[in-house]
Amino acid sequence: MATPLIAILNGPNLNLLGTRQPEVYGRATLDDVEALCAETAEQVGLAIDFRQTNGEGELISWVQECRGKAAGIIINPGGYTHTSIALMDALLAVDLPTIELHVSNIHRREEFRHHSYVSRAATGVICGLGVRGYAVALVAMADLILGE
């Protein structure tokens, strides 16, 4: 059996990880996160396609492209979490196991971050574990799709 592919999609401003607001997002860069994901994916028998975009349309196109290609989606939608019905619709349409991930605990932050449109399309949600949450999400995804 081919190694299942997991799309790890990152939304706006996540390219700034590790450069600003370390008290909120920590000191790891997005390259560090990609390396952590690659290492964890190998350990749990998954392959990854790791991406970041600042564009809502591009993020939605990437979700649509997962159909027939990816076995699951791990998504940190950044600020689009709280605003994008279109992203939620794309995730509902693609109908794959989906884990929504946030580095920070959005429920301890401003009121406007407490609501997520994306959660309606997510199998599960991880937040507040820092960038370790990406590794946790990959282990959970392996459980979901490989039944481990």
Instruction: Tell me whether residue 54 or residue 123 sits nearer to ligand CA2 (CB atom).
Output: 54
User: For residue 99, what are the β-bridge partners?
Assistant: 74, 124
Q: Tell me whether residue 115 is one of the annotated catalytic residues.
A: no
User: Shortest distance, CB of residue 67 to ligand CA2, whole angstroms?
Assistant: 24
Applying CB under 6 A, the residues found at the interface with ligand CA2 are: 13-14, 16-17, 19-21, 25, 76, 78-79, 81, 102-104, 106, 113
Q: Given 80, 102, 117, 134, which residue is catalytic?
A: 102
The Cα 54–Cα 4 span in angstroms is 26
Q: How far is the CB of 147 from ligand CA2 (least distance, A)?
A: 28
Catalytic annotation present for 114 = no
Q: Name the DSSP letter for residue 128.
A: S
Task: Indicate the residue among 17 and 70 with the shorter CB distance to ligand CA2.
Answer: 17
Least Cβ distance, residue 139 to ligand CA2 (angstroms):
18
Please give the structure tokens belonging to residue 5: 């592919």
**In terms of CB distance, is 21 or 64 closer to ligand CA2?**
21
d(CA 126, CA 116): 12
How far apart are the C-alpha atoms of 49 and 69, rounded to whole Å? 11
- Using alpha carbons, select from 1, 15, 100 the residue that is nearest to residue 46: 1
Q: Give the residue numbers annotated as catalytic, written as ranges.
A: 25, 102
